[in-house]
Amino acid sequence: MQKIILLRGNSGSGKTSTAQALKKLLSPNALLLSQDVLRRQMLSEPDHVKNKSISLLEDTISWGAKNVNYIIVEGIFKKSVYLNLLLALKERYAAKMLIFYFDVSFNETLRRNRLKIAPFPEEMLLEWWQNKDFLKNEDYIFTDQENLKQRTSIIESFLN
């Protein structure tokens, strides 16, 4: 059965590592879409309501829905910018879509950020920070308590 797996949360919360682990687990029939790649790297778009990455993401998910079993979408996807997109995707794909939010503390995201090869400045993380940016329709909310293996196992349990 086809699934769209949305991973949302702040920078350094574990979304990207979880998405990469899921991609490895679900390949070869999985597509990984990263908000940073689409918006920042491919399009160099600022993060606002009408940015071009929104339609690119919709089109790519539509393509994936016809060609792969699993579409993994990861990014901050702050509600103030992406709410309409996220609600439209949930309506369009209904039971096929799973939403996971990473509710990790700022201190933990800062600690994880410092482990990166090229960490972001703390001021930038604060600027990006979205405290408890819930949609209210999440299938599961991760906290500081789960490690990568646990997060992957929890998501996998939703796929069965």
Distance set, CA 112 to CA 7, 34, 125, 143 (Å): 17, 19, 12, 14
Domain 3-158: which topology?
Rossmann fold (3.40.50)
Identify which has the larger pLDDT, 127 or 18. Answer: 18
How remote is the C-alpha of 130 from its chain's centroid?
A: 14
Distance set, CA 101 to CA 39, 43, 49, 75 (Å): 20, 25, 20, 10
| Domain boundaries of the chain, sorted by first residue | 3-158
Report how far apart the first and last C-alpha atoms of the chain are (Å, whole number).
9
- Does the structure show a pLDDT above 90 at 50? no
Indicate the average pLDDT of the chain.
Answer: 92
What pLDDT does residue 43 have? 76
For residue 154, count other CB atoms closer than 10 A to its CB: 15
Q: What is the share, in percent, of the chain residues with pLDDT greater than 90?
A: 77
Predicted TM-score (pTM) of the model is 0.94
- Does the structure show a pLDDT above 80 at 84? yes
pLDDT digits (tens, 9 = 90+) for 139-155: 999 999 999 999 999 99
DSSP 8-state symbol, 136: S
What pLDDT does residue 1 have? 64
129 sits in which H/E element: none
Residue pair 37/51 in contact by the 8 Å Cβ criterion: no
What pLDDT does residue 19 have? 98
- Does the structure show a pLDDT above 90 at 159? yes
